[in-house]
Structure 1
Amino acid sequence: MVKEGDKVTLTCSTTCSLSNNPTYIWYRNSQPVNDLHATDNRLDIDSVSIEDAGAYSCAVKGHEIHSSHGINLNVRYGPRNTSASAHPSGEPVEGSSITLTCSSDANPPVHNYTWYRENEHHSTPVGWSQNYSLVDISSEQSGLYYCEAENVIGQNRSSVLQINLTYAPRNTLVSVSPSGDIEEGSSVTVTCSSDANPPVHNYTWYRRKHGSESTWIRQRQTYSITNVSTEHSGLYYCKAENKHGASQSNTTFLDVLYSPRMTSASLVPSGDLQEGDSVTLTCSSDANPPVYNYTWYRKTGDETALLGTGRMPNLTLNLVPGMDGLYHCEAWNKVGLKNSTALQACTAQYSLVPWGPSWL
């Protein structure tokens, strides 16, 4: 048994009577050997290689018609030129099937194939035959694969083969920046993100307001709004598309906060009032978030008096002498606390002129 790298000596002998110092001729596959070292009746190969394999014979010069029978030099070697291939080729689609094939040049033939999946820090064996099939392939099976071929002489591994699985967009999400409260007059950006291979080539934004049908906004991954107003409030969602399909995100509510506005005061009962009557002043205001504090004032001449403050919009008074004047309320929420101009603009006043209300 000869393996690659061994030293091999072939000897030619004859039973014929020959003159002194005969010259021997060596043949490989019926062709004269000129590239090997031949001494007398010996042919020495110091490090045999696969190129040296073949059928050898010899003859005495001048008697070439009486050449020897051939002897086959079978050079064994470990696997080499090992390669991994995928069938069908190209980028598989999620849910399809693919077969990986390992091929190698070896003598004797490969008797053991092992498939590995290469992870970040190590490799994991996944198959033990020349062909390794991935059926109903999922994205978790994407990655780098290689095979190792082994015979009795040695083993050899292939280069890595990348399995790049393609799939339609999924896990499509909407994110809002900055996060937290969105106040009227500020700026906000909504971003659509999606897991897809190949990457998403088209993003579409939609808005739905007050139970109405969805309205197309724009086609871009991000949608930025400067100087946000209440008109921008609503449910937002996006759709992500690539060549394999589309995916829609859940809706995200864009809630625009604003300080109290259109604040007004009302009086119940209205009409003629008499001393001793009980009246209720009510403060109403449009605000988001809702008003959490109401404050009532009475102005008499140049003096303004605080009548009360609290979470309830109502102020009940029993009419007694000296209560005539101008009454107004202020409505506060957490946005309004940051904007004194808005607070000062929310007054509506009544005058109690002996016991009769009138608009100013």
Structure 2
Amino acid sequence: MEALTGSCLQIPCNFRLKQGEKLNSKTTPFGVWIKNSPYFGKNGSVVIFNSSGTVSTYPMSFTGDLSQKNCTTLFSSLNTTYTDTYYFRVENRPFLATAECDGLQITVKDSPPKPRIEISGDVKEKESVSISCSASTPCPHSPPQLTWNLQPDSHHMMEENTDRTFTTRIQKSITLSHEHDGFIISCSARYPVNEGKDVKTSEERKTLSVSYAPKNTSVSISPSCWVSAGSRVNLTCSSRAKPPVSRFTWFKTSRDAPIKVSEGDFYSFNVTDGGVYYCVATNQLGDQTSSEVHLTVEDSPPKPRIEISGDVKEKESVSISCSASTPCPHSPPQLTWNLQPDSHHMMEENTDRTFTTRIQKSITLSPEHDGFIITCSARYPVNEGKDVKTSEERKTLSVSYAPKNTSVSISPSGRVSAGSRVNLTCSSRAKPPVSRFTWFKTSRDAPIKVSEGDFYSFNVTDGEVYYCVATNQLGDQISSEIHLTIGGN
């Protein structure tokens, strides 16, 4: 058995008598623990405890009833020097016997054993599994406390094993999804030692490996969906699955039913007319259909694409780009837009070895940019540069900013009489809209908060100075002050 320094060890123990022998009911049976050697009274054997009270070298006590042949023992305040082989002896004269062939090896360690994480059930999506974390409990009077990173409503218990030792367990049933794959279950066991004054901790981790049907199945196309008749198109199907996808199948839609056109994650063909294509990814747990790809055979060029990277709010710098598909890199499109003329132009090779022409500019945003419409045109030279085909894209900037133009209006205006009612209204321009209006009245010491909301109505008692503060998640702004003047009738 293994135990922890500073804790205790409950030793499950019982004994049987040989046929024809029995305990003497007229005398009290005594239990004895010996270490090193089972040969009682001979060289090498050391008596370390006797329930008669004659020897108590080690902190032991019998919790079982010896008269019922139950010799269960509690070994307390353990330290590593107690690591040894121990033998039980019973004395009930005239009956005397030592368990010479059944020595107990006790190992006392400074570090607690790691808990054990177990998963029972079919570990695949949509299946319910039972997950448990268990810890050896050599001292059931002071069991370890188990904690883990699963849901807090887990079921706790302490169980007696078939060998009469104990285990502390925490358990939870969950229904698996593909998001659980790769989740690391972490379980800690905190063992109280030294009569609860200290704690020793051990931890175990286990990674969930969940099988699931294909997910995120998608099709990429090269070059873009705008193609000319006779040109070559490459379609690639990708999917996430565990076990991996075993089969990709390509289909083309038709009036009657989809037509299977190919297998494999890559499908390349010469375009003759427009069509709608999709792929199906399959593994042993199921399949998933991608979204459709619409191939269009036409003479009009594709629209350029406007992208904004960065936090689109005032005072932040963002990078704005306009890009256009470049099926013919020897004769790329010319990009123009209504941003500053010193924009950076480039032509890039993509990972699929196609090309993109790009124009890019970094700007620092202000509230004035909100609502600005970016216009970008792509001019494609055709017929060996004799003609041009143009496409255009527009995108409106939506810039977030703190409150601006915060002001207070008063009704009625001018002088007011004591006891009359005054209405103050706070207005401000902000994006996102103002989330809170707060009203303050000035005083000699510090401003006094008097109300919240964009409207404040009250009966005047004397002349005072008021202002409001408009707030949203990006900041706040204080209005100018309103001076109330008390006049006569």
TM-score (norm 1): 0.50
Using CA pairs under 8 Å that are at least 6 residues apart, name the structure with larger relative contact order, 1 or 2. 1
The structure that has the greater radius of gyration is 1
TM-score (norm 2): 0.38
